[in-house]
Amino acid sequence: MTSFPSGGKDMAATRLIAIVILSAATAANGSAAEPPLHPFVYAEGFEGISPQVQLWAHNGECSLNFLGTTDEQAFEGKKSFKLDVVIKSGVCIPGREVRP
């Protein structure tokens, strides 16, 4: 069985050190200025070549019914991107390689 000190100089010193550390952390955290935010807009159209999307990873059973551009429910333009996956078990992660 471990016994902890019930008080005395050791406990007072430990409490003082903890208060100093917490005070320093709070002061450093509160004085840091947040970086300015910039608007970010990303848009990708599907009127041209279809993006190269594939199943990156899966650890269960999933079937890919459709992956590509279609004329169904386009938000902008005439085409939209449709991904129809049935996940029977596990996790299925679609994705694409992003190149600059």
Q: Which two tokens stand for residue 6?
A: 């019930």
Q: Quick check: is 69 in a domain? A: yes
Q: Quick check: is 61 in a domain? A: yes
Q: Quick check: is 32 in a domain? A: no
What is the total count of domains within the chain?
1
Report which of 76, 77, 78, 80 is spatially closest to residue 66, judged by C-alpha positions: 80
Q: How confident is the model at residue 7 (pLDDT cuts 50, 70, 90)?
A: low
Q: Quick check: is 26 in a domain? A: no
- What is the pLDDT at residue 17? 83
Report which of 95, 100, 98 is spatially closest to residue 53, judged by C-alpha positions: 95
More confident: 11 or 40: 40
**Structural domain span for residue 67:** 53-96
Average pLDDT (75-95) is 82
More confident: 83 or 10: 83
Q: Quick check: is 80 in a domain? A: yes
Pinpoint the alpha helices (H) of 1-100.
9-31
φ, ψ at 27 (rounded to 5°): -65, -40
pLDDT in tens, 15-72: 878 887 877 766 655 556 778 888 888 777 777 777 777 777 778 888 888 888 888 8
In whole angstroms, give the CA distance from residue 29 to residue 1: 39
- What is the pLDDT at residue 45? 73
Q: Quick check: is 29 in a domain? A: no
Q: Quick check: is 5 in a domain? A: no
